[in-house]
Amino acid sequence: MFLRTVRWISLLGTAVTLSALAAHVLELPNKFSLNGPLWLAVQQNLYRGWGAFVGPFEVTAIVSTWLLLYLVRENRTVFGLTLLASFLLSAALAVFFVLNAPVNAAFASWTPMTLPPDWPSYRLRWETGHAASFAFVLIAFVALLRALFLDATSRASRSGAARQDAPANTPERAAEH
């Protein structure tokens, strides 16, 4: 039961994080067409509060996936997929701190009048960070789903084999007839 709970917490945290990053990626083409003052207005207004909402889900996804890794350590295939997901979720957070957080800090104090001439490089860095994080979290989510499926099928086949090995007069076998 604990394994199942941790797995679903991991999947939920990863799904919420993925959905926020998908929104950024879907907006990307249109945001590249915005002029500086409009791009700044979008950055300073549209995303207000996203970090406070999405951040806890992202941290929960990372922590619960590393815990899940420990819990599935006996199953090599599931372990490998969960390890991949753990590293990718952690890498996505590292990308945020390396690429996105410095841009967020920089444009927080800008106004349309103080927008630096190199603002497009800041935009590119911000969008690249979110696109890379999206790719990492998408792959992590798929790996977690695949691990869930493989773990469930291996458990089902083990319990089916155990039922077939049970004597015919046990409750497990009686339920089959």
pLDDT digits (tens, 9 = 90+) for 131-158: 999 999 999 999 999 999 999 888 777 7
- The pTM of the full predicted model, rounded to 2 decimals, is 0.86
Q: Specify the range with the lowest mean pLDDT, choosing from 37-41, 67-71, 127-131, 170-174.
A: 170-174
User: How many domains does the structure of the chain reveal?
Assistant: 1
- Quote the CA–CA distance of 33 and 120 in Å, as a whole number: 11
Residue 173 lies in a domain: no
Residue 171 lies in a domain: no
CB 2 within 8 A of CB 53: no
Residue 156 lies in a domain: yes
Which pLDDT does position 177 carry in this prediction?
47
Residue 152 lies in a domain: yes
Range of the domain at 133: 2-163
Residue 15 lies in a domain: yes
Which pLDDT does position 47 carry in this prediction?
86
Residue 168 lies in a domain: no
DSSP secondary structure string, 101-148? HHHHHHHTT--TTT--TTHHHHHHHHHHHHHHHHHHHHHHHHHHHHHH
Helices (H), the chain: 2-31, 36-45, 50-71, 76-95, 101-107, 119-165, 171-174
With CA atoms as reference, report the closest residue to 66 among 45, 42, 48, 91: 91
- Quote the CA–CA distance of 64 and 14 in Å, as a whole number: 10
Residue 18 lies in a domain: yes
Residue 170 lies in a domain: no
- Quote the CA–CA distance of 70 and 84 in Å, as a whole number: 13
pLDDT digits (tens, 9 = 90+) for 73-124: 999 999 999 999 999 999 999 999 999 999 999 999 999 999 999 999 999 9
